[in-house]
Chain A
Amino acid sequence: MPSTARPLSPHLQVYRRQIQMVTSIVHRATGIILVFGGLLVAAALLALASGADAWACVTSLAGSWFGLLVLFGWTWALAYHWLNGIRHLLQDVGWGYSIAQFVRNGWISVIGSLILTAIVWVAVYSCGGIA
């Protein structure tokens, strides 16, 4: 083993930024965000089970500007992880590996997640908005 510490791949400094690396990093980042979102889901369910006062606390938090920001971010993170997850599952069965397909599918994840987020929030506000 050579004693010099050689850089290990992947080292982000040497690559030009491209959609492939962005989609991969964002998949992990949204995954981490969604774990924290899951903890909020658990907290909200516990509040719903424990009483009207606790639930009023949840809805007033969810309706505040910060709550809306969190919910909006959570929706996008879920939409992205969901769409890009489909892409990963398709890659697991060997589909979509040509560079052209890879780049196109990456953009589908990014733009599709924004469209899905918009659809969900249009549905939320046409159903009566956040309580």
Chain B
Amino acid sequence: MNNIDPLRAPLKNARGLGSAKDGTRHFIIQRITAVALLVLAVYFVALLVSLAGADYASARAAVARPFNAILLIAFLIAMFWHGQLGMQVVIEDYVHAPGLAITCQLIVRFVCFLAALASVFAVLRLALGA
């Protein structure tokens, strides 16, 4: 490193030359959503089991209950976020053609984001009685 430019701080030279990724952010969010899902997934399976054999009206009523609606939305957001992060790593590891890799990453992000929006919208619609 020859930082001979008297007008530029050393930070200017370091910037943009470090990790090309985003450091530990991905790892940490993957763990945070994992811990959330440890609880929320058990809740979700318990909700499904409790609705086994239920008719349409009682399934609607169950999802519309505020307690269930809030936890369902939390589950959906954590699940699609965690899923996107995991699929991102799988693609980074196994898809080596740059164009195909970027295409896959975009598809995974768009699909996970849209699915999260759509399912949260469905729960809100049930909960708010539209």
B99-130 interface (Cβ within 8 A of A): 111-112, 115-116, 118-119, 121-123, 125-126
B contact residues around A52 at 8 Å (CB): 56
| Interface of chain A: mostly helix, strand, loop or mixed | helix
Cβ of B60 < 8 Å from any Cβ of A? yes
The interface residues of chain A lying within 8 Å CB-to-CB of B34 are: 85, 88-89
CB closest residue in chain B, given A92 = B31
| SS class, residues of chain B in contact with chain A | helix
How many chain A residues touch the partner (CB < 8 A)? 34
Contact of B53 among A48, A120, A130 (CB under 8 A): A130
Interchain CB contact (< 8 A) of A39 among B38, B115, B122, B126: B115
- Report Cα–Cα, A49/B121, bound state, in Å: 9
| A112 interface contact, C-beta 8 A | no
Tell whether, in the assembled complex, residue B38 and residue A28 are in contact, meaning their CB atoms are under 8 Å apart: no
Q: What is the total number of residues of chain B having a CB less than 8 Å from a CB of chain A? A: 37
Cα–Cα, bound, A129→B63 (Å): 19
> In the complex the two chains form, is B49's CB within 8 Å of A123's CB?
yes
- Contact status of A120 and B59, CB under 8 A, knowing A85-B38, A129-B53, A131-B52: no
The interface of chain B, by Cβ under 8 A from chain A, is 31, 34-35, 37-38, 41-42, 45, 49-50, 52-56, 59-60, 63, 72, 76, 79-80, 83, 86-87, 90, 111-112, 115-116, 118-119, 121-123, 125-126
Closest 6 CB pairs of A and B: A128-B53, A42-B119, A49-B122, A45-B122, A35-B83, A127-B52
